[in-house]
A and B are shown apart, each in its own frame.
Chain A
Amino acid sequence: MEPKNPFTKAILAPVRKISTGDTLLWGTLLVLLLAGGAAWTWQYIEGLGITGMNRPVYWGVYITNFVFFIGLAHSGTFISAILRIAGQSWRAPLTRAAEAITLFSLPFGAGSIIIDMGHPERIFNLLFYGRYQSPILWDVTAVSLYMLSSIVFFYLSLIPDIALCRDRLTGAPRWQHRMYEVLALGWNHSPEQYRRLEKALDGMAVFMTMLVVTVHTVVSWLFGMTVQPGWHTALIGPFFLLGAILSGTAAVVIVLALLRKAYRLEKVLHLGLFNSLRKLLITFVLGWLYMMIAEHLTIGYSSMTEEMVVLTDKFSGAYAAVFWSMAALVFGVPLLVFLFKGKNNIGWMVFACVLINIGMWMERYIVIIPTEASPRLLTVMGQGSYLPALPEILITVACFAGMALLYAVFTRFFPIVPIWETAQELPGHAHAAETSPTGD
């Protein structure tokens, strides 16, 4: 007995329909990804010297990417885990789309660290000689656990739908069908399976929520544990976390709009979802603003010498342009859009969310670079400066391209809207889908 969902066909429709457009898109993304791979190979052979990093700016866009992608990854966990715990059942249609962002951005987040290493082949030294006082070990623990848990969380909720694919998409090529068979793990839609699945997911949701807080806090501690001005603040953890959730949620909006458009899922991914997300985003943007003010007011009010150097750099110095456009992109413009234009308007929402994500990338940049450029000892010696070099740009582009590629390919092989979670009735018991898709 399958879950009863009136949209099963619509949801399964995009699967397997690989169009010329898809091939072109995948090809383009693949080329970008390979270009990044080539750049990394080049970097591996020559050394990190080919990047724009220097002394004192030892960390550049790779670490920015790391923080950004890990932040982006919080979308999925937030939408499915936190809202699951909170009983927000409207989130059901977008859980998988959101979790997929998590799944596909995490490798590029974690990978950025490896790309940033001077000796990537020594990565296993972390296991052989791991030293737990280092925040990097915390990161490795948290991020790898997070990545693993995300995969499991994602996969568990995918199993029933894989089973559906297995059952329904008999016309698929042999290998693909075989893939469904294997991945479905013999799922047979028994009520007990669904009961246990729900139970497991509920349980994991709590764990994932804890992880999401941990992971981004730990990421921020990479910076916060050093005594460098601008970083050494207890607020850096919550600040990073909130930023992560904001950029993740904004990314969900972008992805949803794209899916809706590209795969004609207007009925399933209805406007109501965007309106709900809009309210969330308004909250997060304001929350982010709060963090921003709390952080900079504390620093600015106390006016400690070395902290002020960094703060001045951001407010009116070399990084003022980036800082203030970041503030406008993350907070100013999006808030106005959400308040006055976003309601019932997906175009404006996407616009604002794109701005937020550009802005959040810049925010990561502006947290990391100015502090490095003005370390305690070298301030009087002249500003450190940093501009990403070609390999860094290529690799950054490749990270985004890779993430998009994985996403695009995934949606052609698996239903991106969870069929069973949005079903009106599940085998064995009625699904509590009060806000089942209505398509207003």
Chain B
Amino acid sequence: MTAIDPNPQKSKLSRRDFLKLGATAAAAGAGLSLLRPTHKPLAAQPDPEEATVKTTCALCPSGCGLEVRVVDGKAVKVEGNPLHPLNQGVCCLKGQTSLEVLYSPERLEHPRLQTGKRGSGDWKELSWDEALGLVANRLVSLREAGKPHSVALMHGDLRGQMRQVVNRFMRAYGSPNVISRDSLGEGAARLALWLSQGVNALPVYDLNNSNYVLAFGGNLLESSRNLIGYLGAAAFMRRGRPQRGKLVAIHPRLSLTGIKADEWLPIRPGTYGALALGMANVIVNSKLYDEDFVRDFTFGFEDFEDAAGVTHQGFKSLVLETYTLERVAAVTGVSTDKIARIAGEFATNRPAVAVLPTEPGELSSGNALYTALAVHALNALVGSIDAKGGVLLQRFPKLAEWPAYALDETARRGETKERLDGAGTQFPLALSAYQNVPERILAGQPYPLEMLILLNANPAYEMPNGGRTLDALSKVPFVVSFASTLDESAAQADLVLPASTFLEIWGDDYLEGTGYAGVSLRRPVVEAVHDTRNPGDVLLDLAHRIGDPVKQALPWPTYQELITNRLSVFDWEKLEANGNWSELVYFNAAPGSPAWQEVVGRDRLNAPKDGRFDFFSRERFALPGSDSAPSAMLRASSACLPHFDIPATLTDSSADALDYPFLLVTQPLITQSSQWQGIVPTLQECYGLQGNVKWDSWVEIGRKAAEALGLENGQRVWVESPLGRVQAMVRVYAGLWPNAVFLPPGQGHHTFVRWGRKSAEAMLVGANPNALTEITSEPLTGLAVSGPARVRVYPV
């Protein structure tokens, strides 16, 4: 190895020339410089052991392929895996900084038991055997007492086989309570796809082939699922092909997506649905829609009569009658000519696609489902359902069979119990209602909870609800967290079973976001840095300790064996060599083709699987009625069509409006890592790009509003809602809806490590905007309603 040569050959030579020619005195002086070493000799290094290990990222839902350079057993650099179809060799900043997660001094090193009162911080470290014994004993005794359903597992992002592992574990154990965080974010998109397209899945957008992209929400190029794929595709759309596509970003704030889009369309927060329906009005009115597609492959465009002889309004007359341009302009704050122009461009520059936001906070205005339906309806209008350049559907590969297992009596009884979060009962359309858990625990409904397991979940941070979540946690007799760091919820747990990071574990990921079927292999890059374990291994261990039927459902001793078994259908050598396996056969189906049945109507339960996209949701219409209040309105025909209700917080005449004049907008940033935000220094130092904010939160406010309040850039202010207040730094920002303020999510975590010389240890980095928002649930769907909250801003 050679060091940097500070005296390049050329300049040495010319210096010698100079010496030859120059005065002897000069030679004497310059000679000095030759005598002194120009750099300290580097310590001789023995040839280090070096390897490049392919694995799969888990820092965001995308799951890109990574190549990690490992030198002497230490991971030293992360690159993208060039053979991975999702990221094709590139790597985002979160992936790059994943080593700061791996080696974070904030990580918990051993299992620990809170011996004092919960939240007291009196911890005792345990061995894994002790800790798992503790959990298993509890699980077994609850099961023996016939109360397995009183155990609930709340989870965030789960990868690959983990979803099934968790489901099998809980089902065999006898609890219906696997509660996913989906209801905070992508649940709305998923539900909209199911009710309209009949597929319970997330949409995939084929930006590579699209000519016109309408991005609702600010996160398409910043925090969407399959972000890296979309960034590459957006670049390709612009510069990789003969015809340049247009990208329009619709968001109250000028996000990175807005800045980089061809056009930014500022809109009043919470009114995407109205805008989408207004655009539909233009498209229908001007007959710019894909008439063939709408006629042959959709349902409910025209008014129709149902089997009972009742006439129902169709989408066409709904948008023409109700969503006139003037009305939509008044609601959204977007001028009529702009709406008309964008709608016209969208409909005439096919293939065009309208993109749904999936991140928390984007659709959660209390009308999430109908907003999502309205936006997705635009795709049907232009025939972009499973079309090139439109909305595609994710395919999944067929893996080795799961072992069969038989539920015993306890498990069967447990399965029939009402879910803790009210999904399916309180919220007929919900698959989960994460945010409803604390309320139900506090109310003791439907039964007292005995044990709560948190897996990639931090409800105390995600929905503090004025401290009620903490109250709920403390009401549960036993809380187990798989947290890797002492996050807000883990701090309230009895037992923390520290999870290994994704760089230390076996696992897999589906190639979600690409559309086609495939898996990506995750494998340990380095030995576990601390005494931590893969939560998958922990669940398998617990299954063995509990015994049948859980053990029967999950018979593998280690998660590695589970993965190798499930993926054994592939050529393992190739899988290891490439880091992934994919099947590039499916791209999009022709409407009406046999493959079409896979993408329209596949998952319908009550509506006909006739290959038609529902403007009028027949699934929704057919929802079994009950006597509960929401179901009465379920059958109302307007409830089956996309429509728009003004969220309560938006009515400026509300009592709060005078006291709290601003609407709080949040939107996930690309520099934000949902799980690790507090502890990754480099993400903190890239945090607020537009305002150049690092290690802090800022509140963006329009210039006029700032002037009216006498606020200046850099000033510290309180942002206060009826629920609480947080401190942040002012950034006057022109790219913001006039009466909105923006707080970035993701901050407000504690770090317990000194970063840099003068920073305090145990500091709170920024502020958590969730603390300002009362998070409730939509009555029908169980989706979270979180905003826009009303706030006021005043100097500290």
Contacts and interface: CB of A to CB of B under 8 A. Distances in A.
Interface of A: 49, 127-129, 381-382
Contacts of B691: 382
B33 A128 contact: yes
Interface in B749-796: 757
Contacts of A128: 32-33, 36
- Secondary structure at the A interface, as helix, strand, loop or mixed, is helix
A129 B692 CA distance: 38
A392 to B, nearest CB: 16
A127 B32 contact: yes
B713 A382 contact: yes
B695 to A, nearest CB: 15
B46 interface: no
B710 interface: no
Contacts of A381: 692
Contacts of A127: 29, 32
Given A382-B713, A382-B714, 10 more contacts: A49-B757, A127-B29, A127-B32, A128-B32, A128-B33, A128-B36, A129-B33, A381-B692, A382-B691, A382-B692
Contacts of B32: 127-128
Nearest to B32: A128
A206 to B, nearest CB: 26
A128 B36 CA distance: 8
Contacts of A49: 757
A128 B691 CA distance: 44
Interface string B598-621: 000000000000000000000000
B83 to A, nearest CB: 38
B547 to A, nearest CB: 60
A312 to B, nearest CB: 16
Interface in B678-702: 691-692
Interface of B: 29, 32-33, 36, 691-692, 713-714, 757
By Cβ-Cβ distance, the 4 closest A-B pairs, closest first, are A128-B33, A128-B32, A129-B33, A381-B692
Contacts of B714: 382
Contacts of B757: 49
A382 B731 CA distance: 10
Contacts of B692: 381-382
B357 to A, nearest CB: 29
Contacts of A382: 691-692, 713-714
Contacts of A129: 33
A129 B757 CA distance: 33
A128 B32 CA distance: 6
A381 B689 CA distance: 10
Contacts of B713: 382
B538 to A, nearest CB: 44
A369 B29 CA distance: 36
A128 B15 CA distance: 13
Contacts of B33: 128-129
Nearest to A49: B757
A128 B713 CA distance: 47
Nearest to A46: B757
Nearest to B713: A382
12 contacts: A49-B757, A127-B29, A127-B32, A128-B32, A128-B33, A128-B36, A129-B33, A381-B692, A382-B691, A382-B692, A382-B713, A382-B714
Give the interface centre of A127, A381, A382 by most chain B CB atoms within 10 Å: A382
A146 to B, nearest CB: 21
Nearest to B757: A49
A381 B33 CA distance: 41
A129 B36 CA distance: 10
A48 B29 CA distance: 31
A382 B715 CA distance: 13
Contacts of B36: 128
A129 B32 CA distance: 8
A119 to B, nearest CB: 13
A127 B31 CA distance: 11
A314 B447 CA distance: 70
A225 B33 CA distance: 26
A381 B690 CA distance: 8
A382 B316 CA distance: 50
A49 B756 CA distance: 11
A47 B166 CA distance: 53
A133 B33 CA distance: 17
A128 B29 CA distance: 7
Name which of A49, A127, A128, A381 has the most chain B CB atoms within 10 A of its CB: A128
B19 to A, nearest CB: 14
B292 to A, nearest CB: 50
A152 to B, nearest CB: 22
A141 to B, nearest CB: 13
A42 B692 CA distance: 31
A127 B33 CA distance: 8
A127 B36 CA distance: 12
A239 to B, nearest CB: 33
B443 to A, nearest CB: 49
A381 B691 CA distance: 7
A390 B483 CA distance: 43
A381 B694 CA distance: 13
A128 B7 CA distance: 14
Nearest to A378: B692
A17 B762 CA distance: 60
B700 to A, nearest CB: 14
A129 B29 CA distance: 9
A308 to B, nearest CB: 20
Nearest to B690: A381
A49 B33 CA distance: 30
A300 B554 CA distance: 78
A129 B12 CA distance: 12
A382 B757 CA distance: 24
A129 B714 CA distance: 44
A88 to B, nearest CB: 40
A127 B29 CA distance: 8
A128 B37 CA distance: 11
A222 B714 CA distance: 32
A351 to B, nearest CB: 37
A89 to B, nearest CB: 42
Nearest to B6: A129
Of B29, B33, B691, B713, most buried by chain A (CB within 10 Å of CB) is: B33
A131 B36 CA distance: 16
B728 to A, nearest CB: 16
A320 to B, nearest CB: 15
Nearest to B35: A128
A128 B31 CA distance: 8
A49 B757 CA distance: 9
A227 to B, nearest CB: 24
B703 to A, nearest CB: 15
A381 B32 CA distance: 45
A354 B691 CA distance: 43
B578 to A, nearest CB: 42
B496 to A, nearest CB: 37
B617 to A, nearest CB: 48
B484 to A, nearest CB: 32
B32 to A, nearest CB: 5
A41 B757 CA distance: 18
A127 B32 CA distance: 9
A382 B32 CA distance: 45
A140 to B, nearest CB: 14
Nearest to A129: B33
B185 to A, nearest CB: 32
A128 B33 CA distance: 5
A49 to B, nearest CB: 7
A48 B394 CA distance: 56
Nearest to A47: B757
B180 to A, nearest CB: 41
B755 to A, nearest CB: 14
A387 to B, nearest CB: 14
A151 B682 CA distance: 53
A49 B758 CA distance: 10
B789 to A, nearest CB: 28
A424 B36 CA distance: 58
